[in-house]
């Protein structure tokens, strides 16, 4: 049949287009990433060991890891709750709120940093009050968490929303009518349905947070041993002419990010969550 | 929601105690709903709305015109021009490669398909600083391909080519993924029908496939636009933010903050925020179109 022939055997023009696209993707994405990984490990991890011998590098990696993990958990819990409220509640101005949730995808992360610097800066009332309470936010660790939470806000919400919309409210009503409390209804009916989507999106937000740079560089203050994150540390190594140390630490973070990316992908394929 | 419960409870003998139990559990449920709504509003308020509001307030206090006027200085205009050129190139290249790549991933079966599929998604997992570093390792001094670009007379690091490569890397996934998603939902029946009626592959692509994916493509293009305008880490590392040469809108803000030129920083940040809000409105519109069109 001609139709199946079309689906299986593309024309010569299509094949040429496909070859060119393939070449483009390999040159733009694969070659640079391979160069980075190769450069990072080519000296038998000597540079990595040397880099990790420095407490500044270790602190930077640890800071990036825990702040990102904290934000991934915040996204998992509060992102799921937000998706639930957006789908199930009738609140005024919901479409505006829903549109705002996509804003972190559209706004430059550097501008996010500027916003947070204004909100918690030394000239703002809020910034002064927190500093007076002995709990400074700007140029301190809380600003890193706030920036990462802003940048990754849409991940879990946007992944869970479509699943909740497709979920039959009748099932919940049935569970409720049969005497299950709201918590039990959530645990037995809603949670199994949304868990894969929420989990994979949370893992993606973890990977995204580990690489965040633009907002952090403005709000964190980048003080070594205190608020210097791994991407900002890597920038410092590049600028001070130590590309090998930068590549070694980058290769480590990149390997972790790729593993998380693969894990999220696996959850989506195995458990049938849709990657939005 | 409590209607079916009381309707069931009525004919049963022990109606009063049960209905009282039900209504108190309904109260608990309502209280839980209020608490959940409150937590979510506090979350969105703290993370999203407070920073937005602070910036809006600050810029209104400063005077939006004063802030935007600072953009008329030559270096700001040059930075904006650089961002505009990079964005246009990135959008055009990604629209072409993204559409063709999505067709290849969804419609074709070939040995490199899983690789292409994975590569189309991968830039989302990479920190922009590392993107910059990767291209420096390829094309910088002592870079792996430095002799090649030197022979060709192309300067990559601290030059326009570097900025473009960084922008192309980070903006790659958006168009290709959106179009692939729409193509997958569409299926092949319309294309097969066109083929059966004797349309050439060329005709099928331009008359059937492309019109069918137009809203997905438009959505992807807007995302590419937003990502390209906002790119910072890669263009900072690769361009070095040389004023009037490799400075972009975002690196201009970064330098203005460093030099405590508040008006310039706020002016450019306001402009980029306004651009992203316009893009956001477009994205919301196409999102509804996209979903409406696929049904």
Q: Which residues of B260-287 are buried (b: 16+ CB within 10 A; e: fewer)?
A: ebbbbbbbbbbbbbebbbebbebbbebb
Confidence at B21, pLDDT banded by 50, 70, 90: low
- Answer yes or no: do B130 and A234 touch at CB < 8 A: yes
Question: Does the domain made of A46-271 have the CATH classification 1.20.1260.10?
Answer: no
For the beta carbon of residue A172, count every other beta carbon within 10 angstroms: 18
> Please, what is the Cα angle at B91 between A238 and A18, to 5 degrees?
95
- Answer yes or no: do B140 and A13 touch at CB < 8 A: no
Please tell me which of A8-22, A124-138, A140-154 the model is most confident about, judged by mean pLDDT: A140-154
Is the backbone of residue B74 left (phi > 0), alpha (psi -120 to 50) or beta? Answer: alpha
Shared domain check, B133 and B52: no
Shared domain check, B158 and B113: yes
Shared domain check, B180 and B109: yes
3-state secondary structure of A138: coil
- Is residue A4 scored above 70 in pLDDT? no
**Mean pLDDT, residues A226-235:** 96
Contacts of B182 in chain A (CB under 8 A): none
pLDDT score, position A274: 54
How close, in Å, is residue A246 to chain B by CA atoms? 8
pLDDT score, position B5: 43
> Which residue is associated with the tokens 């904006």?
B80
Question: What is the Cα Rg of chain B in Å?
Answer: 27
For the beta carbon of residue A250, count every other beta carbon within 10 angstroms: 32
- Is residue B228 scored above 70 in pLDDT? yes
Confidence at A276, pLDDT banded by 50, 70, 90: very low
Shared domain check, B71 and B58: no
- Is residue A182 scored above 80 in pLDDT? no
pLDDT score, position B64: 83
Shared domain check, B270 and B183: yes
More confident residue, A109 or B66: A109
- Is residue B217 scored above 90 in pLDDT? yes
Q: Are B184 and B102 in contact (CB under 8 A)?
A: no
Shared domain check, B38 and B90: no
How close, in Å, is residue B18 to chain A by CA atoms? 11
Shared domain check, B49 and B172: no
Shared domain check, B141 and B95: yes
Domain layout of chain A by residue ranges: 10-42, 46-271
- Is residue A111 scored above 90 in pLDDT? yes
Assign residue B160 the CATH number of its domain: 1.10.3720.10
- Answer yes or no: do A218 and B283 touch at CB < 8 A: no
- State the maximum Cα–Cα separation within chain B, in Å, rounded to a whole number: 95
Shared domain check, B38 and B182: no
pLDDT score, position B141: 84
pLDDT tens-digit map of B83-137? 999 999 999 999 999 999 999 999 888 899 999 999 999 999 999 999 999 999 9
pLDDT score, position A187: 85
Q: How many CB pairs under 8 A join A and B?
A: 277
Shared domain check, B218 and B101: yes
Q: Nearest chain B Cα to A107, which residue? A: B276
What residues make up the domain containing B276? 67-294
- Is residue B66 scored above 50 in pLDDT? yes
Q: Are B234 and B251 in contact (CB under 8 A)?
A: no
Q: What is the pTM of this model?
A: 0.91
Q: Sign of torsion, CA B125 B128 B129 B135?
A: positive
- Is residue B25 scored above 80 in pLDDT? no
Shared domain check, B145 and B28: no
Contacts of A111 in chain B (CB under 8 A): 55, 230, 253, 269, 272-273, 276
Q: Rounded mean pLDDT of chain A?
A: 90
Contacts of B248 in chain A (CB under 8 A): none
**Mean pLDDT, residues B61-75:** 87
Return d(Cα B150, Cα B159) in angstroms, integer. 13
Listed in sequence order, the residues at least 6 apart from B269 whose beta carbon sits closer than 8 Å to its beta carbon are: A110, A111, A114, B55, B253
Give A218-256 as a DSSP string. HHS---TTTT--HHHHHHHHHHTT-HHHHHHHHHHHHHH
**Last residue of one domain, picked from the residues B62, B83, B98:** B62
> Please, what is the Cα angle at B195 between B192 and B201, to 5 degrees?
110
Of the given ranges (A111-115, B203-207, B268-272), which has the lowest mean pLDDT?
B203-207
Shared domain check, B76 and B178: yes
**Last residue of one domain, picked from the residues B15, B33, B62:** B62
The predicted complex's ipTM stands at 0.91
- Answer yes or no: do A234 and B108 touch at CB < 8 A: no
Q: Are B43 and B239 in contact (CB under 8 A)?
A: no
Task: Indicate the angle between helix axes A243-271 and A191-211, nearest 10 degrees.
Answer: 170
Return d(Cα B179, Cα B175) in angstroms, integer. 6
Q: Sign of torsion, CA A92 B288 B222 A273?
A: positive
> Please, what is the Cα angle at B29 between B27 and B35, to 5 degrees?
105
- Is residue B155 scored above 50 in pLDDT? yes
Contacts of A265 in chain B (CB under 8 A): 121
- Is residue B277 scored above 80 in pLDDT? yes
SS3 of chain B: the string is CCHHHHHHHCCCCCHHHHHHHHHHHHHHHHHHHHHHHHHHHHHHHHHHHHHHHHHHHHHHHHCHHHHHHHHHCHHHHHHHHHHHHHHHHHHHHHHHHHHHHHHHHHHCCCCCHHHHHHHCCHHHHCCHHHHHHHHHHHHCCCCCCHHHHHHHCCCCCCCHHHHHHHHHHHHHHHHHHHHHHHHHHHCCHHHHHHHHCCCCHHHHHHHHHHHHCHHHHHHHHHHHHHHHHHCCHHHHHHHCCCCCCCCCHHHHHHHHHHCCCHHHHHHHHHHHHHHHHHHHHHHHHHHHHHHHHHC
pLDDT score, position B23: 66
SS3 of B160-173: the string is HHHHHHHHHHHHHH
pLDDT score, position B15: 43
Q: Nearest Cβ partner of A18 from B108, B115, B125?
A: B108
How many structural domains comprise chain B? 2
- Is residue A244 scored above 90 in pLDDT? no
- Is residue B32 scored above 90 in pLDDT? no
Measured torsion, CA atoms of residues B282, B285, B289, B291, in degrees rounded to the nearest 10: 100
How close, in Å, is residue B197 to chain A by CA atoms? 10
Instruction: Determine which of B137, B149, B179, B291 to mutate to test the interface with A (most A C-beta atoms within 10 Å).
Output: B137
- Is residue A275 scored above 60 in pLDDT? no
């Amino acid at each position: 049949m001609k139709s199946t022939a079309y689906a299986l055997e593309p024309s010569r023009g299509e094949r040429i287009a496909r070859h060119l696209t393939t070449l483009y993707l390999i040159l733009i994405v694969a070659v640079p990433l391979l160069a980075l990984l190769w450069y990072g490990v080519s000296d038998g991890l000597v540079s990595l060991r040397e880099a990790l011998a420095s407490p500044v590098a270790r602190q930077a990696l640890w800071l990036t890891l825990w702040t990102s993990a904290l934000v991934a958990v915040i996204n998992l819990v509060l992102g799921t709750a937000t998706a639930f409220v957006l789908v199930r509640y009738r609140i005024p101005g919901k479409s505006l709120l829903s549109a705002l949730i996509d804003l972190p995808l559209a706004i430059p992360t550097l501008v996010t940093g500027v916003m947070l610097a204004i909100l918690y800066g030394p000239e703002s009332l809020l910034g002064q009050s927190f500093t007076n309470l002995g709990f400074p936010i700007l140029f301190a660790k809380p600003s890193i968490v706030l920036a990462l939470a802003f940048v990754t806000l849409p991940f879990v919400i946007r992944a869970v929303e479509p699943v909740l919309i497709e979920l039959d409210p009748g099932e919940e009503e049935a569970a409720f009518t049969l005497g299950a409390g709201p918590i039990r209804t959530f645990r037995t009916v809603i949670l199994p349905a949304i868990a894969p989507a929420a989990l994979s999106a949370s893992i993606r937000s973890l990977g995204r947070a580990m690489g965040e740079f633009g907002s952090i560089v403005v709000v964190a203050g980048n003080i070594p041993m205190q608020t210097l994150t791994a991407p900002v540390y890597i920038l410092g190594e590049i600028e001070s002419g130590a590309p090998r140390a930068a590549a070694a630490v980058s290769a480590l973070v990149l390997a972790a990010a790729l593993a998380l990316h693969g894990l999220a992908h696996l959850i989506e394929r195995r458990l049938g969550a849709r990657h939005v | 929601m409590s209607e079916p419960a009381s309707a069931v409870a009525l004919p049963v003998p022990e109606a009063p105690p049960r209905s009282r139990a039900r209504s108190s559990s309904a109260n608990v449920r309502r209280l839980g709903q209020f608490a959940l709504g409150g937590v979510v509003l506090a979350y969105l308020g703290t993370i999203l709305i407070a920073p937005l509001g602070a910036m809006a307030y600050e810029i209104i206090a400063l005077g939006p015109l004063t802030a935007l006027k600072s953009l008329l200085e030559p270096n700001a205009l040059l930075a904006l021009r650089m961002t505009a050129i990079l964005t246009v190139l990135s959008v055009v290249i990604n629209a072409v490669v993204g559409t063709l790549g999505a067709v290849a991933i969804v419609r074709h079966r070939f040995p490199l398909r899983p690789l292409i599929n994975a590569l189309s998604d991968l830039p989302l997992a990479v920190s922009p600083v590392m993107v910059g570093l990767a291209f420096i390792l390829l094309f910088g001094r002592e870079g792996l391909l430095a002799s090649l670009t030197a022979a060709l007379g192309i300067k990559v690091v601290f030059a326009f080519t570097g900025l473009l490569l960084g922008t192309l890397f980070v903006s790659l996934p958006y168009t290709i993924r959106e179009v692939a998603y729409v193509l997958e939902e569409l299926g092949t029946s319309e294309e097969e029908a066109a083929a059966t009626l004797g349309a050439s592959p060329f005709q099928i692509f331009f008359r059937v496939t492309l019109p069918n994916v137009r809203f997905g493509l438009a959505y992807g293009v807007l995302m590419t636009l937003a990502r390209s305008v906002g790119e910072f880490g890669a263009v900072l590392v690769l361009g070095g933010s040389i004023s009037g040469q490799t400075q972009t809108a975002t690196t201009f803000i970064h330098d203005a903050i460093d030099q405590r030129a508040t008006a310039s920083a706020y002016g450019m940040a306001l402009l980029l925020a306004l651009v992203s809000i316009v893009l956001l409105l477009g994205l919301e519109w196409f999102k509804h179109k996209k979903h409406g069109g696929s049904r």
